[in-house]
Amino acid sequence: MIRGGETLLIATRNKGKTKEFREAFAALGVQVKDLNEVPGVPDIEETGDTFAANALIKAKAASEATGLPALADDSGLCVDALGGAPGVYSARYAGEGAGDAANNAKLLRELAALGEPPADLPSPEGLPGARLLSRARFVCSLVLYEPRTGEQIVAEGAAEGFIADTASGSGGFGYDPLFYLPEFGRSMADISVAEKNRISHRGKALRLLLEKLEGV
């Protein structure tokens, strides 16, 4: 698998993600580049029915187009009351090109259509007047693909919480304002970056991936 001194391609154009991965792999002596720095990778259609499948599709396509080992992630929100939806459709829950506001509005509509939430859900301390609608979790799958051998390393992380009926906080994106974390008494959009990195699904998946690489 990848070794110090080699280059790892991150299958993203998101500079924030690239910065996070670059910092993580620096300790291994691995140089990190993303799709903004390595031309020739076409748009990749995510056709998998799981986060891991989509991550593999992206990692393999980027790797085969460039000849470099590639790392890709796929993540989303899974809501118990909706049978795991929106899941792999999290980014386009309200339709292709839908923004965060539209996706959040659809999520609340779908939960409202179910009627009263389960009686065993806790009271959301720290969110006066709000109530919780369902247990939920953010899930992230990371796949590192090595083109020379076809070897794959898969790591997954999850952040457990609840969906609140009231948005709170301005520091996050996506479904963060609706995702209530009982250990903080706040939403994911209302905690610090350091707190989010510590408990986030992507942070957990990345730490597990690095552990697996060190054991190879």
Q: Which residues contact 161 (CB under 8 A, 6 or more apart)?
A: 135, 136, 137, 138, 179, 180, 181, 182, 188
Determine, yes or no, domain membership for 72. yes
74 is catalytic: yes
Q: In the prediction, which pLDDT does 155 show?
A: 97
Q: Is residue 91 part of a domain?
A: yes
Q: What is the CATH number of the domain that holds 115?
A: 3.90.950.10
Is the CB of residue 148 less than 8 Å from the CB of residue 68?
A: no
pLDDT confidence of residue 157:
97
User: Does 19 belong to an annotated binding site?
Assistant: no
pLDDT for 174 equals 92
Residue 20 marked ligand-binding: no
Q: What is the pLDDT of residues 91-117, one digit of tens each?
A: 999 998 889 999 999 999 999 999 999
Q: Would you say residue 118 lies in a domain?
A: yes
Rounded to an integer, the average pLDDT of 28-34 is 93
Residue 164 φ then ψ, to 5°: -95, 155
pLDDT of residue 42: 86
In a domain, 63, yes or no: yes
Q: Active site residue: 49, 74, 100, 165, which one?
A: 74
For the cut 70, the answer to whether the pLDDT of residue 216 exceeds it is: no
pLDDT surpassing 90 at residue 5: no
Tell me, yes or no, whether 88 lies in a domain.
yes
Asked whether residue 1 is domain-assigned, the answer is no
Total domains in the fold of the chain: 1
Domain range for 211 is 7-215
**Higher pLDDT pick, 170 / 114:** 114
148 annotated to a ligand binding site: no
Q: What is the pTM of this model?
A: 0.90
17 is in an annotated binding site: yes
